């Protein structure tokens, strides 16, 4: 595991690309096993591909693009259900970021 340095996270893609990829992949695999795989793939490819992981005050967070529901195409899902699953997915990514970087919550 790479030693986490919050200052290096400012340039996260240069310093922590592999760790970020691992956290997102772990979250994807977890979600794909538990929810509709078509929806999880759509969220992954059409929403989370534009997300931005952040680190501030000891916490990781995932900033989503505007109007995530409107971005999803090719899958029929009610907006309320989409929002529920997206919230679970984002929470899982944040949990994986903490785990991969060894930062306690």
Closest CA to 69 of 59, 57, 79: 79
pTM of the model: 0.94
For residues 54-82, give the mean pLDDT.
96
At 29-47, the pLDDT tens digits run 999 999 999 999 999 999 9
8 Å CB contact between 74 and 67: no
pLDDT bracket for residue 50 (50, 70, 90)? very high
**Average pLDDT of the chain, as a whole number:** 95
């Amino acid at each position: 595991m790479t030693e986490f340095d919050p200052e290096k996270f400012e340039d996260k893609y240069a310093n922590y690309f592999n760790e970020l990829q691992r956290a997102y992949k772990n979250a994807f695999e977890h979600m794909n096993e538990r929810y509709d795989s078509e929806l999880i793939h759509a969220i992954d490819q059409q929403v989370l591909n534009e997300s931005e992981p952040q680190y501030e005050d000891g916490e990781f967070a995932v900033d989503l693009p505007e109007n995530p529901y409107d971005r999803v195409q090719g899958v029929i899902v009610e907006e309320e259900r989409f929002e529920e699953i997206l919230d679970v997915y984002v929470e899982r990514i944040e949990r994986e970021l903490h785990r991969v970087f060894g930062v306690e919550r």
